[in-house]
């Protein structure tokens, strides 16, 4: 993976008319982990990771732990005290996102994952930060182990009515996408209702103006496979969805649609407990 954009991202940048801006922003992408980035990683209790499974489905995973469970162990390597998902191949390309709702900061690190004595490592190939746009502010209340009433993990091939209700109420989700040069994981945020559920197998959301890189939309232009992760910040409930997505361009802007292929619902997907949100002032009104 190079720090330059791949053809999918370049095509979207050209279409939207931001190639020059994207070129300037690309200079912020490095292959090394600077001290300020290492300190940020070590302060976080969660990490999102996108990867392709052995059947070719792309998923967005959530890892949690006490601050320090993610740490830089060199200028190009991150160590995570957790096991890679069982269906993620050794040496797989991955895209990670460290996000801190307390400070509305986020950092992406893409590279290659391998198992280690501590859990797994990611050899960094792309490291860069993003602006706080559309990121809701939350305080971290601590962690709670799952109780006996949490319920079992539920797998499916379509959304249930309760899953659809939770998605419509969400103000944040995470999306992982893939392309020939690797995997990327990004954040999407907005006021509740910014994600539409148009049926048990179709989600959609308006693509708000961002950093002009168009890494997510560029990957969808090249491949189309995607995994999204929804999180109930107060209870730890999670829903992971894998499918195929595409972006439609029209006079009212860009709209991404995702066709659902697989779902994994975990009532105790995260032990972390967060406050109600202070919504980002950048969030557009939801029609």
In a domain, 195, yes or no: yes
String of DSSP letters for the chain: --SSPPHHHHHHHHHHT-HHHHHHHGGG-BSS--HHHHHHHHT-SEEEEEEE-TTS-EEEEEEE-STTSEEESSSSEEEESSPPPTTSPTT-EEEEEEEETTTTEEEEEEEEEEE-SSSEEEEEEEEEEE--TTPPB--EEEE-PPPTTS---EEESS--HHHHHHHHH-SEEEEEEEETTEEEEEEEE-STT-EEEEETTEEEEEE----S--HHHHHHHHT-EEEEEEE-TTT--EEEEEEEEEEEEETTEEEEEEEEEEEEEETTS--EEEPPPB--TTPPPP-
In a domain, 1, yes or no: no
pLDDT for residue 1 is more than 50: no
Per-residue pLDDT at 173: 98
Which domain CATH number covers 158? 2.30.110.10
pLDDT for residue 45 is more than 90: yes
For 143, phi then psi, to 5°, come to -130, 150
CB-based contacts of 114, cutoff 8 Å, min separation 6: 90, 91, 120, 121, 123
**Residue found by looking up tokens 């029609």 in the block:** 287
Per-residue pLDDT at 8: 92
In a domain, 118, yes or no: yes
Per-residue pLDDT at 188: 97
Count: domains in the chain: 1
Contact assessment for residue 279 and residue 136, using Cβ atoms and an 8 Å cutoff:
yes
Q: Kindly state the percentage of the chain with pLDDT values over 70.
A: 98
Identify which of 234, 156, 220 has the alpha carbon closest to the alpha carbon of residue 188. 220
**pLDDT tens, position by position, 59-112:** 999 999 999 999 999 999 999 999 999 999 999 999 999 999 999 999 999 999
CA distance 136 to 280: 5
In a domain, 147, yes or no: no
Mean pLDDT along residues 134-162: 91
CA distance 209 to 279: 17
**pLDDT tens, position by position, 155-167:** 999 999 999 999 9
CA distance 226 to 230: 13
The total number of residues written for the chain in this structure? 287
CA distance 6 to 222: 9
Per-residue pLDDT at 238: 98
**Residue found by looking up tokens 């994600």 in the block:** 195
Confidence of residue 3 (pLDDT cuts 50, 70, 90): very low
In a domain, 160, yes or no: yes
pLDDT for residue 211 is more than 80: yes
In a domain, 2, yes or no: no
pLDDT for residue 4 is more than 80: no
CA distance 109 to 96: 5
Give the pairing of strands 77-80 and 70-72.
antiparallel
**pTM assigned to the model:** 0.95
In a domain, 146, yes or no: no
Contact assessment for residue 269 and residue 231, using Cβ atoms and an 8 Å cutoff:
yes
CA distance 225 to 197: 18
Identify which of 38, 51, 65, 189 has the alpha carbon closest to the alpha carbon of residue 110. 51
Per-residue pLDDT at 26: 87
- The range of the structural domain enclosing residue 72 comes to 7-130+153-274
In a domain, 86, yes or no: yes
Identify which of 149, 158, 161 has the alpha carbon closest to the alpha carbon of residue 235. 149
């Amino acid at each position: 993976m190079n720090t330059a954009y791949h053809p999918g991202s370049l095509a979207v940048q050209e279409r939207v008319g931001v190639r020059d801006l994207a070129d300037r922003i690309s200079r912020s992408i490095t292959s090394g982990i600077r001290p300020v980035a290492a300190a940020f990683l070590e302060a976080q209790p969660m990490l999102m990771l996108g990867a392709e499974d052995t059947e070719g489905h792309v998923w967005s995973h959530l890892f949690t732990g006490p601050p320090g469970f993610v740490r830089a162990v060199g200028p190009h390597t991150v160590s995570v005290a957790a096991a890679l998902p069982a269906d993620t191949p050794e040496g797989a390309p991955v895209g990670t996102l460290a996000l801190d709702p307390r400070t509305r900061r986020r950092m992406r690190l893409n590279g290659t994952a391998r198992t280690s004595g501590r859990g797994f490592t990611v050899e960094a190939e792309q490291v860069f930060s993003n602006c706080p746009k559309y990121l809701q502010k939350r305080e971290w209340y601590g962690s709670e182990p799952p109780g006996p009433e949490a319920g079992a993990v539920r797998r499916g091939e379509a959304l249930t009515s309760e899953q659809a209700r939770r998605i419509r109420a969400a103000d944040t989700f995470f999306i992982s996408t893939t392309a020939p040069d690797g995997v990327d994981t990004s954040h999407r945020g907005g006021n509740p209702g910014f994600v539409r559920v148009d049926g048990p197998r179709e989600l959609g959301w308006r693509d708000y103006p961002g950093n002009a890189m168009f890494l997510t939309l560029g990957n969808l232009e090249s491949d189309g496979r995607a995994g999204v992760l929804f999180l109930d910040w107060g209870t730890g409930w999670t829903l992971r969805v894998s499918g195929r997505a595409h972006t439609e361009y029209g006079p009212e802007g860009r709209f991404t649609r995702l066709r659902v292929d697989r779902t994994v619902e975990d009532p105790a997907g995260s032990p972390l407990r967060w406050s109600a949100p202070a919504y980002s002032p950048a969030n557009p009104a939801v029609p």
